[in-house]
A and B are shown apart, each in its own frame.
Chain A
């Protein structure tokens, strides 16, 4: 059996050792009033969390709207850049359909150009650093031809894929639309 004095000595040592652990405690330093870090100098193009903003436009015609050759070049790009990956040949999938008459950001040429060039929220990438302006205008012409927004004679008459509706050249003419967003989301 341990003597009473020995026991208290052990207690003492344990107490000292335990309080050593307390020494290791340090209060986290929350710099509540210091200078805020700056953003990096290089920025990438951003998209907003909610759909929009979009541009108000009264442009009616894109530069290649009546150019059948450029429209089909746009069709080739649509395939090569894997637009179909989300828009599924214009029918829509992960991305919105392009052959109907619903337009989140408007169906005028410069509105579609902006959507392709800058990208949009929910996954549409920014293309302006990857494609040049001419290529984006070609895509604009093709996208608009899908729902009959370009002159009938310049629209592609044939698709290489199974389509849920007749070729663009067989689509009835349509009128351009502005954004389908509530007015609050539209900024000039």
Chain B
């Protein structure tokens, strides 16, 4: 699921085959060197090194010179070969396509903000920690950091790219196998660095288009009185200060967008599966699950919390 050896895009495949070649050739050389070292140790047993080195016959000298020269030449050739190979892979990864689906990804302590760009502002979709992409189409990420340096790393689809505050770095890939691929922050970014995961969901074009269309339609406000009460709890407490829900007054951008919270499979940046019980547990005390997390424990009465969770469960 989160592996360099299971590539799902031409880009990741190029990186994986470079890795296999380097590991293979490097392994063979290492074995050869180890074997020679053992051979030399066995062969030279009992002789005194100092005497030998003082009296090396002239033809042995020449032979040693040949061996050293050959060693240097072979080393340089192999390294130059890998350098060329590495450059060609780097070139492949750096050649961004002219037209690609562009997704803004911003790293926060400790979650991923995702925004699908569109010239029509009503079709710009904000989500978090889960990135849907179409299979067979180039996708370009614009990577930013909101606070400290983070690093995007989803090895099944492409390599690693740092997210640097005040700078936009880019990365692209074309997924060719549908699936769910895990990604992870790969640059230490504070207490919950390890708890900052994301998922890339590569799906067929039709399914992706349907997801995108559903994403730009905010959920209907609830009509049931209990759910309306839950919505009021959300809007009148601390929730709406940080989170946004499309179609409501909550428009803050400090925390993840919750417009389609229940369309996501996990909460808390991949830490918990998105079930009602987990959501309740998370709201009750986020720091018990992710110590250091910026989301505070809001002191709700149990009834208010229940109503709030019931409302959040409707955000499909």
Contacts and interface: CB of A to CB of B under 8 A. Distances in A.
Interface of A: 73, 76, 80-81, 129-132, 134-135
A132 B294 contact: no
Given A76-B294, A135-B296, A129 B242 contact: no
B236 A132 contact: no
Given A76-B294, A80-B254, A132 B241 contact: no
A132 B238 contact: yes
Most buried by A among B241, B297, B299: B241
Contacts of A80: 242, 254
Contacts of B217: none
Contact of B241 (A73, A76, A81, A134): A81
A76 B296 CA distance: 13
Nearest to B241: A130
A135 B298 CA distance: 11
Nearest to A133: B299
A46 B113 CA distance: 36
Interface string B250-266: 00001000000000000
Nearest to A69: B292
Contacts of A76: 147, 294
Nearest to A138: B296
Nearest to A73: B294
B296 A134 contact: yes
Contacts of B297: 132
A132 B239 CA distance: 11
B108 to A, nearest CB: 10
B294 A130 contact: no
A140 to B, nearest CB: 15
A131 B254 contact: no
A130 to B, nearest CB: 5
Most buried by B among A73, A80, A135: A80
A149 B248 CA distance: 41
B254 A132 contact: no
Interface residues of B, number: 12
22 contacts: A73-B294, A76-B147, A76-B294, A80-B242, A80-B254, A81-B241, A81-B254, A129-B236, A129-B237, A129-B238, A130-B237, A130-B238, A131-B238, A131-B241, A131-B296, A132-B238, A132-B296, A132-B297, A132-B298, A132-B299, A134-B296, A135-B296
Nearest to A77: B294
Contacts of A129: 236-238
A156 to B, nearest CB: 14
B141 to A, nearest CB: 24
A159 to B, nearest CB: 13
A135 B299 CA distance: 13
Given A81-B241, A129-B236, 5 more contacts: A76-B147, A76-B294, A132-B298, A132-B299, A135-B296
Nearest to B252: A80
Contacts of A131: 238, 241, 296
Contacts of B254: 80-81
A134 B237 CA distance: 15
Contacts of A135: 296
Contacts of A134: 296
Contacts of B241: 81, 130-131
Interface string B213-243: 0000000000000000000000011100110
A76 to B, nearest CB: 7
Most buried by A among B242, B296, B297, B298: B296
Most buried by B among A129, A130, A134, A135: A130
B150 to A, nearest CB: 15
A82 B271 CA distance: 29
Contacts of B296: 131-132, 134-135
A129 B238 CA distance: 7
3 smallest CB-CB distances across A and B, nearest first, come from A80-B254, A130-B241, A132-B296
B32 to A, nearest CB: 52
B142 to A, nearest CB: 21
A44 to B, nearest CB: 10
Nearest to A131: B238
B35 to A, nearest CB: 54
Contacts of A132: 238, 296-299
A10 to B, nearest CB: 64
A73 B292 CA distance: 10
Interface string B281-303: 00000000000001011110000
B80 to A, nearest CB: 44
